[in-house]
Amino acid sequence: MCCKGFLKIMMFVFNGIIFLAGAAILAVGIWVAVDRVSLLGFLDHIDDAPPQLAQLANIGYLLIGVGAFLALMGFLGCCGAMKESKCMLLSFFVIVLIIFLIEVAAGIVLIVFEPLFEKFLDEIGESVTKSIKGNYGSDEGFTSVWNSTMSELKCCGYNNYTDFMDSPFVSTTSLYPDTCCTNSTICNANAADREDIKGCFQALEQLLKDNAVLLAGVALGIAALEIAAMVVSMVLYKDVGK
């Protein structure tokens, strides 16, 4: 009886975490969907963008779906443990198992098709670079998003300062964005070339590498949480009615 009570508490903890995570993702999704113009409007100005990149415009709705699904799953688990409902506990187990298998399959696909993924990133880079040359300095929303990104990541352009050559901003002012010259008062072509600030893609890659251990730990933690939740739900399922 004591062991069963402990398992119920653990089930509440697991599903409480899942429910809160789902609610947070749902809130972010609603925010992104409502404020789509300011957050994702720059996608409309990326020339010849791959179809997969255009789908980012629907990221808000995807987050809403994922958040609602996780919140429902957490609710099912909590109710199943509280009411000792076999149906709810079994449904929870099946859902978590499906999610776990999808995550494993996604990891395998990323490893196997890594060359195709790299090719896709190259296509995105070409499209983004072309858009910078055509819109930076002439489109206020696009320019603002890039300025914020470069300021946050301390980078210059997608590849480097050459992405801004022939852009409306450089053509009008003969200057480059301030983030391309951290040690120069006037950021002209000579100063940008001398400082050679890394591009945002490279900065993002470095950020991921620096936090690789943390990301791996989070991924393993999520996997462990899912396995533990499945084990606890099955133990409670077998004990219902005893």
The conformational region for residue 85 under phi > 0 = left, psi -120 to 50 = alpha, else beta, is: beta
Q: Residue 31: inside a domain, yes or no? A: yes
Give this prediction's pTM.
Answer: 0.61
**Do 61 and 175 belong to one domain?**
no
Q: Residue 92: inside a domain, yes or no? A: yes
What does the pLDDT read at residue 164? 92
What does the pLDDT read at residue 180? 92
**Do 136 and 59 belong to one domain?**
no
Cβ atoms of 237 and 77 closer than 8 Å: no
The CATH number of residue 140's host domain is 1.10.1450.10
* Helices marked H in the chain: 2-34, 36-40, 51-54, 59-83, 86-112, 114-135, 140-153, 168-173, 189-195, 200-210, 212-239
pLDDT over 70 percentage in the chain:
83
**Do 99 and 66 belong to one domain?**
yes
What does the pLDDT read at residue 114? 66
Distance between CA 64 and CA 24 in Å, rounded? 10
Angstrom distances, CA of residue 28 to CA of 4, 41, 117, 174, 240:
36, 17, 27, 39, 37
pLDDT along the chain (242 residues), means of 10: 68 79 80 58 53 57 79 78 77 83 80 71 79 86 84 89 91 90 88 90 84 78 80 79 58
**Do 11 and 93 belong to one domain?**
yes
Q: Residue 59: inside a domain, yes or no? A: yes
Q: Residue 108: inside a domain, yes or no? A: yes
Q: Residue 94: inside a domain, yes or no? A: yes
Q: Residue 124: inside a domain, yes or no? A: yes
Q: Residue 209: inside a domain, yes or no? A: no
Instruction: Mention every residue, 6+ apart, whose C-beta is less than 8 A from residue 207.
Output: 153
Select from 95, 82, 98, 87 the least CA-distant residue to 11: 82
**Do 90 and 166 belong to one domain?**
no
**Do 222 and 165 belong to one domain?**
no
**Do 91 and 138 belong to one domain?**
no
DSSP assignments along 155-223, one per residue = --SSSSGGGGTTSHHHHHHS---GGG-SS-SS--HHHHHHH-PPPHHHHHHHHHHHTHHHHHHHHHHHH
What does the pLDDT read at residue 38? 46
Q: Residue 14: inside a domain, yes or no? A: yes
Number of structural domains found in the chain: 2
What residue numbers bound the domain in which 127 lies?
120-204
What does the pLDDT read at residue 96? 83
Average pLDDT over the chain, rounded to an integer: 78
**Do 23 and 97 belong to one domain?**
yes
What does the pLDDT read at residue 235? 81
- Per residue in 128-157, pLDDT tens? 888 888 889 888 878 888 888 888 888 998
Distance between CA 157 and CA 72 in Å, rounded? 41
Cβ atoms of 90 and 40 closer than 8 Å: no
What does the pLDDT read at residue 156? 93
**Do 8 and 101 belong to one domain?**
yes
**Do 82 and 24 belong to one domain?**
yes
